[in-house]
């Protein structure tokens, strides 16, 4: 099920990432294809979006935007237990993200007053994957934080599926419940281009958020600067499970498998300092795969990005974790919460046998839109902060300028910016009043 790696005795202190395998999913060919798609959308607008949707998704649409009546009907058609689950998820996401909002601050210091506050972006664009699967949870995990942040307009792009002749009803229902303003049946790099630059149907946005395949992730990198990109490289799914002799082999195995279920280009690692644990988890995984309806897809992902690493101990396991910088990290071992505090690089950490990443995927509250492909070294989960801008207002009194002005003059003169210095001198000398 997993490729075995014996990392015992390996010095990971110099360049740990170079010592570990990682698929090259961001090569020149995908990037060139993405750039071509973006250029075509910018030049051709809606007709190009329709053409690319038919080419890539096999769906010919009369219109790109989903009508309000269809959204309301999707909610009305939800099974009661699914609607209850969505509402529970929304409640958890709202509760967590409201705590991230910062109250306006006023800082006063001897003639200097600074007012610091936050303002939401006017319009956010969300991307939710589709095609072979449907992800209403990702609608909730992106739209609810945007709404809590106070974003006025939320546009959602989802690739249509031939099976539904459009967007899956569960996804439309989630959009309606989460407060999405507009839904468009557009996917891939073309959706990112449309949200960044605008077309006849899709108005340009200020921030784009949401996960996707390698083409979506690269497209977001390409348009960064023209539009804000929330969270770093939210691409194919990843998990590292660290297990010791206390772990349930079945629990660890299913958690390695569950992220591989998302599709190609992902990573799934098992790390342990006990070889018998690796043997037991791999054996349990084979039994689970034998009964899985998506066994072929999971095996294909694991064949490219599935590893079982044997290390010297907990400290070495953390070195591997920090080198991989995984999207999801599960610590199914003794002293898991203490060990978690020593993790530097991970999108989300789940501690103990009853905290699978799937809880975070659906109902825990923090967004499941997480950094992938090693970007957890410098990036975090999607939060309300991705939809907010920090503003500040500075007010200086005459006495405050008398105190601070000479420092401004000294620094400005050192940098050769005489007008900056003179803007202070003229005030300190009383100007030409």
Please report, for residues 110, 161, 409, the alpha-carbon distance to residue 425 in angstroms, rounded to integers and kept in the order given: 20, 67, 8
Residue 392 makes CB contacts below 8 A (sequence gap 6+) with 114, 115, 116, 117
CB 174 within 8 A of CB 74: no
pLDDT of residue 21: 81
Tell me the pairing of strands 267-272 and 238-243. Answer: parallel
Tell me the pairing of strands 388-396 and 112-120. Answer: antiparallel
DSSP-assigned letters across all residues of 294-357: THHHHHHHHHHHEEEEE-SSHHHHHHHHHHH--SEEEEESTTHHHHHTT--S-SEEEESTT--H
Nearest to 254 by CA among 337, 357, 324: 357
Record the tokens describing residue 266, joined without a space: 């992902």
Ramachandran assignment for 111, one of left (phi > 0), alpha (psi -120 to 50 degrees), beta (any other): left
Record the tokens describing residue 425, joined without a space: 């001198």
The reported pTM is 0.89
Q: Which helix (H) or strand (E) holds 26?
A: none
What domains does the chain contain, in order, with CATH numbers?
Answer: 3-24+236-365 (3.40.50.1980), 28-233+384-389 (3.40.50.1980), 397-428 (no CATH)
Ramachandran assignment for 9, one of left (phi > 0), alpha (psi -120 to 50 degrees), beta (any other): left
Burial of 430 (0-12, 13-18, 19+ CB in 10 A): exposed
Angle CA 244–247–248, to nearest 5:
145
What is d(CA 364, CA 140) in angstroms, rounded to the nearest whole number? 12
- The residue behind tokens 């939800």 is 78
pLDDT of residue 72: 97
Active site residues per annotation:
327-328
207 DSSP β-pair partners: 124, 228
Instruction: Provide the Cα torsion 246, 249, 250, 255; round to 10°.
Output: 90
Nearest to 140 by CA among 385, 361, 350: 361
What is d(CA 92, CA 398) in angstroms, rounded to the nearest whole number? 49
**One pLDDT digit (tens) per residue for the chain, 433 residues:** 899 999 998 877 666 666 688 766 666 788 999 999 999 999 999 999 999 999 999 999 889 999 999 999 999 999 999 999 999 999 999 999 999 999 999 999 999 999 999 999 999 999 999 877 899 999 999 999 999 999 999 999 999 998 888 999 999 999 999 999 999 999 999 999 999 999 999 999 999 999 988 899 899 999 999 999 986 666 678 999 999 999 999 999 999 998 777 767 788 999 999 999 999 999 999 999 998 888 888 888 898 889 999 999 999 999 999 999 999 999 999 999 999 999 999 999 999 999 999 999 999 999 999 998 888 999 999 999 999 999 999 999 999 999 999 999 999 999 999 999 999 999 999 865 4
What is d(CA 135, CA 263) in angstroms, rounded to the nearest whole number? 13
pLDDT of residue 24: 64
Q: For helices 398-414 and 418-428, give the axis angle rounded to 10 degrees.
A: 150
Please report, for residues 249, 385, 413, the alpha-carbon distance to residue 343 in angstroms, rounded to integers and kept in the order given: 23, 23, 45
Record the tokens describing residue 407, joined without a space: 């420092």
Instruction: Provide the Cα torsion 425, 427, 429, 433; round to 10°.
Output: 140
pLDDT of residue 233: 66
What is d(CA 363, CA 383) in angstroms, rounded to the nearest whole number? 15
Sheet strands side by side (includes 112-120): 105-109, 112-120, 388-396
pLDDT of residue 201: 97
pLDDT of residue 39: 98
pLDDT of residue 27: 65
What is the length of the chain? Answer: 433
Around Cβ 104, how many Cβ atoms within 10 Å? Answer: 9
pLDDT of residue 433: 47
CB 223 within 8 A of CB 197: yes
């Amino acid at each position: 099920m997993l490729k075995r790696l014996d990392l015992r005795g390996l010095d990971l202190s110099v360049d740990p990432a170079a010592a570990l395998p990682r698929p090259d999913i961001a090569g020149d060919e995908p990037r060139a294809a993405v750039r071509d798609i973006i250029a075509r959308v910018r030049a051709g607008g809606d007709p190009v979006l329709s053409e690319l949707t038919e080419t890539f998704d096999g769906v010919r649409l009369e219109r790109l935007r989903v009508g309000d009546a269809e959204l309301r009907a999707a909610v009305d058609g939800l099974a009661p237990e699914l609607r209850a689950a969505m509402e529970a998820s929304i409640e958890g996401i709202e509760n967590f993200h409201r705590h991230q909002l910062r109250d306006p601050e006023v800082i006063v210091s001897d003639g200097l007053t600074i007012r610091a506050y936050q303002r939401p972006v006017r319009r956010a664009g969300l991307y939710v994957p589709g095609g072979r699967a449907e992800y209403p949870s990702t609608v909730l995990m992106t739209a609810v934080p945007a709404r809590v942040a106070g974003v006025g307009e939320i546009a959602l792009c989802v690739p249509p599926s031939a099976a539904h002749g459009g967007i899956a009803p569960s996804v439309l229902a989630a959009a309606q419940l989460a407060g999405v303003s507009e839904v468009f049946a557009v996917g891939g790099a073309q959706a990112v281009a449309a949200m960044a630059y605008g077309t006849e149907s899709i108005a340009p946005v200020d921030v784009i958020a949401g996960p996707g395949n390698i083409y979506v992730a690269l497209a977001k990198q390409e348009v960064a600067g023209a539009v804000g990109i929330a969270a770093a490289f939210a691409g194919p799914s990843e998990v590292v499970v660290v297990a010791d002799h206390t772990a349930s082999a079945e629990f660890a195995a299913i958690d390695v498998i569950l992220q591989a279920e998302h599709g190609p280009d992902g990573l799934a690692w098992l790390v342990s300092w006990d070889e018998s644990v690796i043997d037991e988890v791999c054996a349990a995984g084979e039994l689970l795969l034998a009964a899985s309806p998506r066994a072929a897809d999971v095996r294909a992902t694991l064949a490219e990005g599935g590893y079982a690493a044997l290390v010297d101990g907990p400290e070495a396991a953390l070195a591997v974790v920090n080198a991989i910088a995984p999207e999801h990290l599960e610590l199914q071992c003794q002293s898991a919460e203490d060990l978690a505090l020593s993790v530097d690089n991970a999108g989300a950490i789940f501690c103990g046998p009853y905290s699978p990443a799937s809880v975070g995927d659906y109902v825990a509250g923090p967004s499941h839109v997480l950094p992938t492909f090693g970007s957890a070294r410098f990036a975090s989960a999607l939060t309300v902060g991705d939809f907010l801008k920090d503003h500040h207002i500075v007010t200086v009194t005459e006495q405050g300028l008398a105190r601070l002005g000479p420092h401004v003059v000294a620094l400005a003169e050192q940098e050769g910016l005489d007008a900056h210095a003179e803007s202070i001198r003229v005030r300190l000398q009383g100007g030409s009043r």
